């Protein structure tokens, strides 16, 4: 499983760096209350894990951890980093590195503002307007990057020059998270009400997590729907 990578959007990815524990770790964290420990995960243990999730005995799920390397647009990370409990982020810094050209997200289609959901979108704009929207979008992003490069060439420091860069710019983070916290992220961000772009990342994260904690992730996602 190490270094598993899933491509997301046009330039992004979710990559597994490391993980600690398994479904058995959840079982043993729960059974230590009785001074017991198991060496193999059995059918009855799946029922215990389900019971823990159903009755919100969640501390055993926090004796696990994953570290993911994620590349995503800044506007996606703006939403992602609201998930602070049980997780930690370290992000690439524009104070230390110079951002490359054309490292920004470009939508395949431009969506319309939703009529009912004020924060969401639905369908796409008229086909005749797609090309014009794309041209305007690219002009803005490329112009911002060009101004950023110009400021650097004038000797302006990186920490100030980066202020003109667009929210579509890709960034990278290391995200270390417990099984409970990652299940919460998937449940909220894979939902149809979440922004489409972060839904794609939630699906990728699930694809990485599921083989490591198949029982634990499943029961936490089911319990969260109750």
SS (H, E, C) 13-24: EEEEEEEECCHH
**Beta pairing, strands 5-8 & 87-91:** unpaired
Q: Which two tokens stand for residue 175?
A: 């995200």
Whether 95 is catalytic is: no
Catalytic-role residue among 15, 62, 132, 189: 189
DSSP string, 44-74: HHHHHHHHHHHTT--GGGGS-EEEEEEEEEH
Specify whether the CB–CB gap between 64 and 25 falls below 8 A. Answer: yes
Burial class (CB in 10 A: 0-12, 13-18, 19+), 77: buried
Residues labelled catalytic = 189
């Amino acid at each position: 499983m190490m270094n598993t990578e899933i491509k997301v959007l046009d330039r992004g990815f979710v990559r597994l760096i490391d993980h600690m524990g398994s479904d058995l770790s959840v079982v043993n964290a729960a059974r230590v209350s009785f001074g017991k420990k198991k060496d193999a995960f059995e059918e009855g243990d799946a029922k215990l894990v389900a019971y823990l999730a159903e009755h919100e005995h969640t501390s055993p799920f926090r004796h696990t951890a994953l570290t993911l390397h994620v590349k995503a647009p800044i506007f996606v990370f703006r939403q992602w980093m609201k998930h602070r409990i049980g997780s930690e982020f370290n992000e690439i810094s524009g104070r230390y590195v110079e951002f490359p050209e054309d490292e920004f997200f470009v939508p395949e289609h431009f969506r319309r503002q939703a009529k009912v959901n004020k924060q969401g979108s639905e369908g796409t704009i008229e086909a005749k307007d797609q090309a014009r929207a794309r041209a305007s979008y690219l002009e803005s992003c490329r112009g911002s990057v060009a101004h950023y490069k110009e400021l650097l060439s004038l000797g302006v420091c990186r920490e100030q020059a980066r202020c003109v860069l667009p929210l579509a710019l890709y960034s990278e983070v290391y995200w270390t998270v417990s099984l409970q916290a990652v299940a919460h992220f998937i449940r909220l961000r894979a939902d149809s009400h979440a922004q489409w772009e972060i839904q794609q990342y939630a699906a990728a994260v699930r694809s990485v997590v599921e083989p490591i904690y198949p029982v634990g992730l499943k029961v936490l996602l089911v319990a969260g729907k109750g």
